[in-house]
Amino acid sequence: MRKNCEREKVMVAMSGGLDSSVAAALLKKRGYDVVGIFLRLWESEAYFEAEKNAKKVAKILGVPLHIIDAKKEFKKEIVDYFLRGCEKGYMFNPCVKCNPEIKFKFLLEKMKELKYDWVATGHYARRRREIQNSPPEADQPLAEKLQISNKLQVTSYKLQATYKLFQAEDKNKDQSYFLYGLKRKQLAKIIFPLGDYKKTEVLKMAKKFKLPEFRKEDDSQGACFIAEKYPDKFLKRNLKMRKGEIADQQGNILGEHQGLPLYIIGQRRMINIGGTGPYYVIKRDFKNNLLVVTRNVKDPKLYGKSVKLKKVNWIIRKPKFPFKAKVKIRYQHPAISATIVHSSQFTVCGFYEVVFNKPQRAAAIGQSAVFYSDKGELLGGGIMKEAQK
């Protein structure tokens, strides 16, 4: 048991941005023994600048900063994975995979090495710890009986801690969507200091803590290895693009596309057909290298009644099916009502499917569908692999 004079130790992921810097400052103010960690994930001007900022903030706060080089693992597990997916028509969200498999993996390993108690990040999310008296069950050993008096005995049930993840107080900044891949065992050692604050409050705290001014780009939600707003140029630099024809649903050739990996369902950008648009992508035919488009923004082929999932992770215990939930099919997409079903009729492991109450537009394969309760608790999620029209 920890002695009263000892402070709890927390390791903070310091990215060199505003949010993680304020998180570190907050924890130090609350009396934690704080050490910073900067993960080197990519070679770029933005990362060099971020590392410089992290060192500057660590010096201001008077906390040590450790540098971990994870570029090799990040390229293999995240960047190459992203590119392979795009090549096959899947536009994966890199952060969804990176958080559990790279960032928190390295952070928790370093936490054990340094013998610290916690890992903290600047994510906008809330973790709650609930303690329950768990009565003995068939698969649970009985707790020892405690002798209270010579005549009275009571059974002490085992106390169980349950860790739950909820949306942040600031719903506009909530980042729980990117954290659905975490395991309950990981959550037991993670804290999110900013979860109960609005972004405006965090900005005020940055000034109060006399932290350096941060560029607007430091608050970006884009993939950290892509410098541009859109991934087009990055994909062109790293994949071989084959130009091909753009056609309508009747087979009329309308123009030329720049390479199918550059397009997703529902997209209207980069469809360079002069004068008659706008057009929207409804199909990518990789076999024939053909992009099929429509001028009708409400075309039924842009909408899906349901979507099948792969690589599903449950933060809660696996629920009973079917069950109703709120579902986000993109990070900034509003949560919509749906039913989650599980079927083992055709495969040994079965498959999960999200059935929307109302058909949804552009449920893009490769993106994640994330489940929430009505109270904002993050239940789990998975990668969309097949939309049903």
Tokens linked to 251: 């087979």
Mean residue pLDDT across the chain: 88
Per-residue pLDDT band for 10 (boundaries 50, 70, 90) equals: very high
- H/E stretch holding 253 reads strand 253-257
Q: 88-92 — which CB contacts under 8 Å span 24+ positions?
A: 88/286, 89/260, 89/261, 89/284, 89/286, 89/365, 89/366, 90/365, 90/366, 91/264, 91/364, 91/365, 91/366, 91/367, 92/366, 92/367, 92/383
The verdict on whether 86 is a catalytic residue reads no
The verdict on whether 98 is a catalytic residue reads yes
The one catalytic residue among 5, 86, 98, 349:
98
**Bridge partner list, 381:** 313, 370
The arithmetic mean of pLDDT across residues 143-151, rounded, is 33
DSSP code for 157: P
- What is the b/e burial string over 221-258, where b = at least 16 CB atoms within 10 angstroms of the residue's CB? eebbbbeeeebbebbeeeeeeeebebbeeeeeebbebb
- H/E stretch holding 1 reads none
The arithmetic mean of pLDDT across residues 98-121, rounded, is 96
Predicted confidence at residue 231, as pLDDT, reads 92
Sign of the torsion angle spanned by Cα atoms 295, 300, 303, 307: negative
| Domain chopping of the chain, boundaries | 9-128+164-219, 130-160, 240-297, 303-388
Is the pLDDT reported for residue 387 higher than 90? no
Residue 94: phi, psi to the nearest 5?
-60, -35
Q: Quickly list DSSP for 314-367.
A: ESSSPPPSSEEEEEESSTTSPPEEEEEEEE-SSSSS-EEEEEEEEEEE---BTB
Share of the chain above pLDDT 70, in %: 87
The arithmetic mean of pLDDT across residues 294-300, rounded, is 94
Reference 360, options 322, 327, 331, 385; nearest CA is: 327
Per-residue pLDDT band for 132 (boundaries 50, 70, 90) equals: low
Range name among 2-11, 55-64, 336-345 with the lowest pLDDT average: 2-11
184-227 pLDDT tens trace:
889 999 999 999 999 999 999 999 999 987 755 445 456 899 98
Please give the model's pTM, rounded to 2 decimal places.
Answer: 0.87
Predicted confidence at residue 215, as pLDDT, reads 58
Is the pLDDT reported for residue 157 higher than 50? no
Is the pLDDT reported for residue 347 higher than 50? no
Tokens linked to 117: 């108690």
The arithmetic mean of pLDDT across residues 47-69, rounded, is 96
Range name among 24-38, 101-115, 163-177, 331-345 with the lowest pLDDT average: 331-345
Looking at domain 240-297, its CATH superfamily turns out to be: Adenine nucleotide alpha hydrolases-like domains (2.30.30.280)
What fold, for 9-128+164-219?
Answer: Rossmann fold (3.40.50)
- Do 140 and 89 touch, CB atoms closer than 8 A? no
Predicted confidence at residue 150, as pLDDT, reads 35
Query: Three-state SS string across 176-227, please?
Result: HHHHCCCCHHHHCCEECCCCCCCHHHHHHHHHHCCCCCCCHHHHCCCCCCCC
Looking at domain 303-388, its CATH superfamily turns out to be: Translation factors (2.40.30.10)
The one catalytic residue among 5, 86, 224, 349:
224
**C-alpha to C-alpha distance for 184 and 193, rounded to whole angstroms:** 18
Predicted confidence at residue 204, as pLDDT, reads 96
Share of the chain above pLDDT 90, in %: 75
